[in-house]
Amino acid sequence: MAAFGRGLPAKCMGALQHLAGQGGNNWWKDVLARTDLVLAVRDRYLCAYSKGQRIFEVQFENPAGGDCARPRVDTHYKYLIRPKLDDRTEYVQFDGDTFAIDPTDVVQTQYEPKKTVAQMIAAASRYEGMEKKGVHKIADENPNVVDLEIAFSRSAEEDKGSNALRMDFAVLTAGTGGARLVFCEAKRADNPELSGQGSGGARHIPVVK
pLDDT one-digit tens code per residue, 103-148: 888 999 999 999 999 999 999 888 888 888 888 889 888 889 988 8
Asked, for residue 184, whether it belongs to a domain, the answer is yes
pLDDT band at residue 159 under the 50/70/90 scheme: low
Question: What pLDDT is attached to residue 75?
Answer: 95
| 91 in a structural domain | no
Range of the domain at 198: 10-85+98-204
Residue 165 reports pLDDT greater than 90: no
pLDDT tens digits, residue range 8-47?
988 999 999 999 999 999 999 999 999 888 888 888 899 9
Task: Indicate the burial class of 137 (C-beta count within 10 angstroms; 0-12, 13-18, 19 or more).
Answer: exposed
**What pLDDT score does 163 carry?**
66
Q: Is residue 113 part of a domain?
A: yes
Number of domains in the chain: 1
* Of 122, 113, 110, the residue nearest 37 (C-alpha): 122
Q: What is the pTM of this model?
A: 0.74
The verdict on residue 48 lying in a domain is yes
Domain presence at residue 2: no
- Phi and psi angles of residue 139, each rounded to the nearest 5 degrees, phi first: -65, -35
What is the tens place of the pLDDT at every residue in 43-52? 889 999 987 7
Looking at per-residue confidence, does 206 or 154 come out higher? 206
Residue 83's SS3 state is coil
| Phi/psi of residue 14, nearest 5 degrees | -60, -40
26 vs 58: CA distance, rounded Å: 14
Percent of the chain predicted with pLDDT > 70? 86
Say if 3 falls within a structural domain. Answer: no
Asked, for residue 209, whether it belongs to a domain, the answer is no
